[in-house]
Amino acid sequence: MAANTLNDNVTMPASWRAKAPLLLAIGLCGVLVSLGLFHFGSSPENEATGFRMFFHSYLANYIYCLSFCLGALFFVLVQHVVRAGWSATVRRVAELLAYTIPFWAVLFAPILVAVFTNHGHLYEWSKGAGEIPAIVEMKLDYLNPGWFLFRAVVYFAIWCVAARLYFRMSREQDETGSTEITLKLQRWAGPFIIMFALALNFAAFDWVMSTDAEWYSTIFGVYIFAAGMLSFFAVMILTCYMMQRNGRMEKYVNTEHYHDLAKFQFGFIVFWSYIAFSQFLLYWYANIPEETLWYKHRLDLSTGWRPLAYLLIALHFAVPFLGTLPRAVRRNKNLLAGWACFILVVHWLDMTFLVMPNVGPASFMMLLGHFVCWIGMVSIFLAFFMYRVGETPMVATRDPWLPDSLAYQQMPM
Amino acid sequence: MSTIASNKVIDNTIDTPGRRTTLVTGNQTYGSITHMVSRISEEAQPLAWWVTFILAVPTLGMFGALIVYLFLTGVGVWGNMSPVFWAWPIVNFVFWVGIGHAGTLISAILFLFRQNWRTGINRAAEAMTIFAVVCAGTFPGIHVGRAWLAFWLTPYPSLNLWMWPQFRSPLLWDVFAVGTYASVSLVFWYMGMIPDLATFRDRSTSKFRRLVYGILSLGWSGSSRHWMRYEKAYSLLAALATPLVLSVHTVVSFDFAVSQLPGWHTTIFPPYFVAGAIFSGFGMVVTLLVPVRAIYNLKDVITLRHLDNMNKIILATGSLVGLAYATEFFMAWYSKNPYEVFTFINRAFGPYWWAYWIMVSCNVISPQLFWFKFFRTNTIAMWIVSIFVNIGMWFERFVITVTSLSRDFLPASWGYFSPTWVDIGMLVGSFGLFFTLFSLFCRYLPIVAMAEVKGVMSQHAHAEHRHDHSHGASH
Amino acid sequence: MSDHKPEKKAKPPRAFGWVAEYADDNKLLEAARKVRDSGYTRTDAFTPFPVHGIDEALGIKATVLPWFTLCAGATGTCIALIMQWWMNAFDYPYIISGKPFASWPAFIPVAFELTILFAAYTTVIAMLGLNGLPKFSNPMFTNPKFDRATDDRFFLWVDSRDKYFNTEKVKSLLESTGPISVDEVREDDSPSEIPKMIFSAGLALILLALVPGAIVLRMRAARSDQPRWQVFFDMDFQPKKKPQQTTTLFADKRVQRPPVPGTVARGELELADPYYLGYDPDKTAALEATEATRMVAFNAQDGAAAAAAAPSANQAAAPAPAGAAGEPNYAWLTEAPIEATEELFALGKKKFETNCAVCHGYAGYGDGLVSQRATNLAQGYWLQPTSMHEDRIQKQSVGRIYYTVTNGKGKMAGYASSLTPRERWAVVLYVRALQRSQNASIEDVPEPKRAELSSK
């Protein structure tokens, strides 16, 4: 069959790896340049000082990258817990993505700086008692720097242990081909999912929701999860596509896998919209001031963020929903790669929408700085990913499910 | 070959990575599957069926009598009071609608996820869905006070009222959601049955049976062109029904969550209600199928693997529900909103503390037993846990509805709700309706999707063939 | 499949080709491929379950079904949105829970449900339509072996209308594929007429079903002398009294019962405490009873009788303290139920100057800034705020002033919502102090200070 002529190479092109230091440098420069831009564009009357904008922008872009790495971790765990066969060819990509989480733990440092310098650049509560609204002051028993640090350590510990375990064991299977490893990973997936869910839920509250410490929403963790899973599938599709364009993984990832990934991506477009709509509808309908304030910052004409909200409805739901609905699109990897890029852009808009309006009204310099910071953070992500991949095969070639995965065909219609 | 399942239960829950275990045990053939399922409606019913039916019908009669009594006397016969205006009937409604989720979920979502094990259980689960939705629909229907005017909810040009329904109300969304869900589930169930009804038709020996099943099966011939469109329609319906399942309980949760009442107004309600609904639905499927499987000797198509998988879903959704409880509690504390804080403390330690702890122990703690394989594969143990799940989920709705209402913002109007005998009689009566319908279903309709099971058998045979082939090649 | 309809008046049973029976799906697939490769296109397979790969083996093309679903779904969305907008924002707009008439977020759930409803039903109906179902007569069904097509046998059929069809060749081709049997498909020659009885029974059922509707329509259109039919008599005529009605059950004939003396309703503690009221409610109740009786009598009887009853009621009552017309007849507190301290004085001054002085003036002469402004605008109808130093006000008891502060008087609004009872008492005492200060004589000044004053 045609498979014989396909390339069996499953390692990343060496030329990509060689670019990792350059990307890292670009990334760091981008982040620093954005700080400069923010400083230049700061307007003290809006309290939107350079540092305030910078830290918010950093957080938004940080969560942007971290969310799909967490999505990758969840994907790996779920594939094991349900004994999935179809995903055996692409699971290694997710394992590698997830295993960049330890790097992200290091990049959490600037957020800790913002917390421990007590200027409230990022979190109002970090200023401590006396300078903050009474209701936030009451929350200091939860939102205080020491306890925040402790929780962050716990979250990262859970994720890093899981990511490392699933990556190392899968690598071990590359050597031994032992099915015992699969069984072991399947057994551990359940408990890890529970810990993962708790950590993600509370991390979303701690890191993102508490940028507006007066506001709260119980669905917030699910929202971040939905956004992360969606962008993860986009990253996955794009990674496979780029590898295949360079003649890698050709033998392993076929149209059926793209189709499945696209279906998941489509599903999470709908799921994200469902969660976002539920949160909005409940707060809009009940119309309780302390809850609608969050939306007022984002929907009030005076703040300049309203167009972003409409953009999200259009670009994060309607357009990709209709765009990836046809079966033909889902089975065409070129189109699919285009949609994956699209999703990764709107995911950035989404994270911007969550975090940036807390700084104040939108301004050109703010958006410019935020954009530069995004470019920087994505470069850092790419560098991390390439360091992490190194010479590791991008397919778990001795996974017991691999034959099943390769043989699978969707319903022919 | 007409070997009916042996009494020996084969444990097909042992995993071999890379190889799917068989979902049909006991060396069954296509013909023996047909016979195993068809004989249920062709032969005399076993004693257990008669016992169920004879218990269920008078209970249904009691339900009818109580509804008549309610209509003639008014809703005062219920325990609903100020401030708990919304009590027992809405609890029953949400309880039954929740149960009505597993059927379409198994058919639709598991179909999309290509979980072949759904085929053994989906038919019975879908039937359960329809009957549970019928039970659920009864309660809003009778609780409007003047039930004969319930049609006012439909948007029709009325010459009397000169007005339209209020589409900004979640209760009207509910009418549309439950109505759509009931009718789409019904058509999904029926469409899935057409090939099996044709099997009944072709096996029937009496002219009457042939006529009835012939009409019901619409002249199905099994043509491949028909199958192709049928499968396409089935997958489209699955894709439509999946968000529909989620939307129904989401809208039910909106009934509560769009209000401003602490304990109701929280954004996690939509996914949390959906998880709870799936949880209770699977609980009920296990409750029904463990006996059905034993009574009709269907151990070879509803295997331990099926039960094991369902129990895992119960564990997962039960833990999700637990996570939602925890999130709600945390957020009440975190928000520092005194009303929220009070509501949640009141739930756990107020006058309804017993209901709350029944809920937690049944919904969150009891499914944790399913971490152990013994409980997942022992039918008696899982049956008991599934009963606990049913109880717990009823109490969940009770806790949400009653505790929040009984102690609202105005302490002067606080009260304590107690059900009347009519309330309790109606809950019991709705089970009579449910079991009457379910036993009639077992008696007259194919309780296992034969065609789908055969499809899975064929698929498995091909996979095994491929597996052996590749193994042979590598050695 | 659907293009194939048996002719009505064919005399001998027509042959529709050949059908071969197989024991398993692999055999069927092989045979189907073979038949396809032999060039036959008018073929079909009949299987108990959808056989994977048969579409390709028979050359079946994809269906247009998804387009039906898509169009129906879009129709559902549009209909739902237009319907909700038209009904709630256009044809019958009314305000509910402060939401806009066109509440698009609130319209989404119903729009979603109708999308699914339309799409799902269209899918099923279109599937049946494209398959030509229901179709109860099928030439295949004439062969008793075919009953196993829904059980465990697999059939392959070559239609006689295929352009390469040749009976012998097809038969031998099918026989070469290892079937269990090969049979000729014959037309279903069983009577195709539907028994007349079914029509008459159907007609009777339809007519019967119309009866209830006809009765309802008739009743709606016709007039009747009969009283309305009370489905629920006790719901329409409830044995209860509504507010403001009379009853013979109590001596005072009032339906609304005053609280039992000496009791306090839950949450109404403040209504029993002179500190909150400025008067003693129990004593007042004793004064008021006569008035209440008069009002009830007035309501119960016609006006003339009430007028006649009124004087006698008044005579029977204890003589109430004389008051101005419209003045409430209460047992006012004459002493403030709070200790006058310097701190309280400061509080009263602060609150007076914040809340009262804009109209009444800092010294209480009714010449506050609002009053001055209104007078300057020459608004003839401007009524000067009351001066605290009027004789009438000076004579008022503290309880009466407290009552005014709490409940307002004339154009002045009550201050119960902005001042706590303690603050109100502080204001009252401050007013007293003002009155004293503005109407003082030299005797009011303490002895040591007099000299100081006279020196100035």
Across residues A360-387, what is the average pLDDT? Answer: 90
Res. B156: pLDDT tops 50: yes
Q: Would the CB atoms of C55 and A412 count as touching at under 8 Å?
A: yes
Report whether pLDDT(B439) > 80: yes
Residue A413 above 60 pLDDT? no
Exposure letters A149-167 (e unless 16+ CB within 10 A, then b): eebbeebbebbbebbebbb
Res A304: pLDDT: 86
Asked if residues A403 and B18 have their Cβ atoms less than 8 Å apart, the reply is yes
At residue B21, does pLDDT exceed 60?
yes
Angle of the A220-245 helix axis to the A333-355 helix axis, nearest 10: 150
β-pairing, C181-186 vs C412-413, is: unpaired
d(CA C158, CA C173): 10
C138 burial level (CB within 10 Å; 0-12, 13-18, 19+): buried
Measured CA to CA, the distance from residue B76 to residue A266 in angstroms comes to 50
Q: What is the pLDDT of residue C58?
A: 84
Q: What stretch of H or E contains C16?
A: strand C15-22
* Residue A1: both structure tokens together: 């069959």
Q: Does B176 touch chain C (CB under 8 A)?
A: yes
| Nearest to B251, CA basis, from B170, B179, B181, B182 | B170
φ/ψ (deg, to 5) at A9: -70, 130
Chain C nearest CA to A413, separation (Å): 6
Q: Report, as an integer, the average pLDDT of B106-117.
A: 84
> Element (H or E) spanning B367, and its range?
none
Alpha-carbon span B203 to B37, nearest angstrom: 12
Residue B162 to residue C266, Cβ atoms within 8 A: no
Q: What is the dihedral of CA B156, B162, B168, B171, to 10 degrees?
A: -60
* The predicted structure's pLDDT at residue B1: 39
Q: Output the average pLDDT for chain A.
A: 88
How confident is the model over A94-111, as a mean pLDDT? 93
- Could you give the ipTM of this predicted complex? 0.90
Q: Are B215 and B194 in contact (CB under 8 A)?
A: no
pLDDT of residue C314: 42
- Packing angle of the helix pair A179-203, B304-335 (nearest 10 deg): 20
B239 and A266 Cβ atoms separated by less than 8 Å: no
Residue B265 is nearest to which of A286, A402, A403, comparing CB atoms? A286
pLDDT at res. C12? 63
Selected residues 248-287 of chain A with any CB under 8 Å from a CB in chain B: 263, 270, 274-275, 278-279, 281-283, 285-286
Q: What is the mean pLDDT of residues A150-160?
A: 95
> What pLDDT score was predicted for residue A267?
93
E strand or H helix that includes residue A177: none
Q: Count Cβ atoms below 10 Å from residue C420 Cβ, excluding itself.
A: 10
* pLDDT tens-digit readout, B214-258: 889 998 988 888 999 999 999 999 999 999 988 999 999 999 999
Residue of C nearest to B156 (CA): C87
How many Cβ atoms from other residues are within 10 Å of residue B161's Cβ? 11
Measured CA distances, B139 to A307, B60, B89, B143 (Å): 44, 14, 6, 6
Q: What residues in A contact C70, CB-CB < 8 Å?
A: 325
Between CA B253 and CA B266 the distance in angstroms is: 10
Report the C-alpha gap between C392 and C324 in whole angstroms. 10
A 171-230 residues with CB < 8 A to B: 179, 182-183, 186, 190, 194, 197-198, 201, 205, 216-222
Alpha helices, DSSP H, located in A122-248: 134-138, 145-176, 179-203, 220-245
Peptide bond before residue B83 is cis, with ω within 30 degrees of 0: yes
User: Is residue B48 within 8 angstroms of chain A, CB to CB?
Assistant: no
Residue pair A392/A96 in contact (Cβ under 8 Å)? The answer is yes
d(CA C243, CA B467): 84
What pLDDT shows up at residue C299?
55
**A255-279 burial string, b = 16+ CB within 10 Å, else e?**
ebbbbbbbbbbbbbbbbbbbbbbbb
Average pLDDT, chain C: 82
Helices (H), B100-169: 102-104, 110-112, 118-143
Instruction: Identify the sign of the CA torsion C224, C225, C231, C236.
Output: positive
- B207: which 2 tokens? 């002219």
Instruction: State residue A401's pLDDT score.
Output: 84
Angle at C94 between CA C90 and CA C96, to 5 degrees: 130
Identify the helix (H) or strand (E) that includes residue C403.
helix C398-407
pTM of the complete model: 0.80
Mutate to test the interface with A, among B321, B335, B339 (most CBs of A within 10 A): B335
More confident site: B9 or C236: C236
Which of A10, A165, A208 has the alpha carbon at shortest distance from A73? Answer: A165
CB C60 within 8 A of CB B225: yes
Residue whose tokens read 């003036």: C361
| pLDDT beneath 70, residues of chain C | 1-13, 192, 288-326, 378-379, 454-456
In sequence order, the 6+-apart residues with CB closer than 8 A to the CB of B453 are B23, B24, B33, B119, B120, B301
Radius of gyration of chain A (CA): 22
**Average pLDDT over all residues of chain B:** 87
CA distance B25 to B460: 12
Q: Is the peptide bond between B291 and the residue preceding it cis, with omega within 30 degrees of 0?
A: no
List % helix, strand, coil for chain A (3-state, nearest 5).
Answer: 80, 0, 20
Interface residue A411 vs chain B (CB under 8 A): yes
Which residues lie across from C20 on neighbouring strands? C156, C182
Task: Give the number of residues written for chain C.
Answer: 456
State both tokens at A321: 């929903």
Q: Which letter does DSSP use for residue C239 in this model?
A: S
Report the b/e string of C115-129 with b at 16+ CB within 10 A: bbbbbbbbbbebbbe
Neighbours of chain B (3+ CB pairs under 8 A): A, C
Which one, of B223, B213, B276, lies nearest residue B246 by Cα?
Answer: B276
| Tokens (6 digits) for C38 | 């032999």
Task: Tell me how far CA of residue B442 lies from CA of B46, B105, B400, in angstroms.
Answer: 11, 21, 35
Q: Cβ(A179)–Cβ(B18) under 8 Å?
A: yes
Instruction: Name the residue among C56, C62, C106 with its Cβ closest to that of A285.
Output: C106
**Amino acid in position A266:** F
Cα nearest neighbour of A280 on chain C: C105
- Concatenating the DSSP letter of every residue in B67-107 gives HHHHHHH-GGGS---SS--S-HHHHHHHHHHHHTTHHHIII
Identity of the residue in B167, B240, B410 whose CB atom sits nearest the CB atom of C119: B240
Contact B322, B291 (CB under 8 A): no
Out of C55, C63, C105, closest to residue A284 by CB? C105
Give the angle subtended at the CA of A182 by the CAs of A177 and A184, to the nearest 5°: 125
CB atoms within 10 A of CB C271: 12
Chain A partners within 8 Å of B466 (Cβ): 403, 407
* Interatomic CA distance for residues C74 and C82, integer angstroms: 12
Chain A residues whose CB is inside 8 A of the C66 CB are 327
* Tokens linked to A16: 């990509």
